[in-house]
Copies of this chain bind each other. A is one copy, B any other.
């Protein structure tokens, strides 16, 4: 056994690389590597090919910057969608989450993150200028900000709001309040405070 405790350099390299993934420690990485060892070579090749293929050939929609196999994504090229409403989100997972609600018929703009000085992400690293350009080209009535309810999300909301102020477009932000089926006693003070402050007339 060499000092690195792994009996094989090949195994050690695989474990090192796999454990670079977020949330995967060296124990899990070893378990995954030994699992792959038991699989057919064909299946392991399918896994690595799919990852390589995705990373090398991934494409982004030229309009909304969502991941897409085509130059214009299926949502942006869909005539049934309301092109006058743009929902601004952080990433493709948020698009999938909102699509999952089946409540939204407008289009999207994927920023690729939020402003986060701590992580070295500034406005120029995000698709904010392209959003402003898109609004300036006209035909947009409302921009819905649907970023994470965090300090970074709030900062980004404010930055975008300022950038869009002159265009005259209506800028809205998704409602914040207590989540469906949450128990009030376990809701944090900020959320509860905002929910109280943001109360709306009761509708039946």
What secondary structure prevails in chain A residues at the interface with B? helix
Q: Closest B-chain residue to A110, C-beta based?
A: B7
A190 within 8 A of B: no
Q: Contact: A57 with B10, CB < 8 Å?
A: yes
B41–A32 contact, CB under 8 A?
Answer: no
Which residue of B6, B17, B33, B47 is within 8 Å of A46 (Cβ)? B17
User: Could you say which residues of chain B place their CB within 8 Å of the CB of A16?
Assistant: 50
Cβ-defined contact, A31 with B20, below 8 A: no
Which residues in B have their C-beta under 8 angstroms from that of A51?
14, 17-18, 33, 36, 44, 47-48
- Residue of B with least CB distance to A96: B5
* A141 located at the interface, meaning its Cβ lies under 8 Å from any Cβ of chain B in the complex: no
Q: Tell whether A183 is near chain B: CB-to-CB under 8 Å.
A: no
**Residues of chain B contacted by A92 (CB below 8 angstroms):** 7, 11, 34
Query: Does any Cβ of B come within 8 Å of A203's Cβ?
Result: no
The segment from A21-29, A127-135, A168-176, A193-201 that touches chain B is A21-29
Instruction: Give, as a whole number of angstroms, the nearest-CB distance from A101 to chain B.
Output: 12
Known: A5-B100, A55-B36. Contact between A67 and B11, CB under 8 A? yes
In the complex, the answer to whether B23 meets A54 with C-beta atoms within 8 Å is no
Chain B residues lying within 8 Å of A75, measured Cβ to Cβ, are 1, 7
**Residues of B close to A136: CB separation below 8 A:** none
Q: A36–B24 Cα gap in the complex (Å)? A: 13
Q: Is the CB of A68 closer than 8 A to any CB of chain B?
A: yes
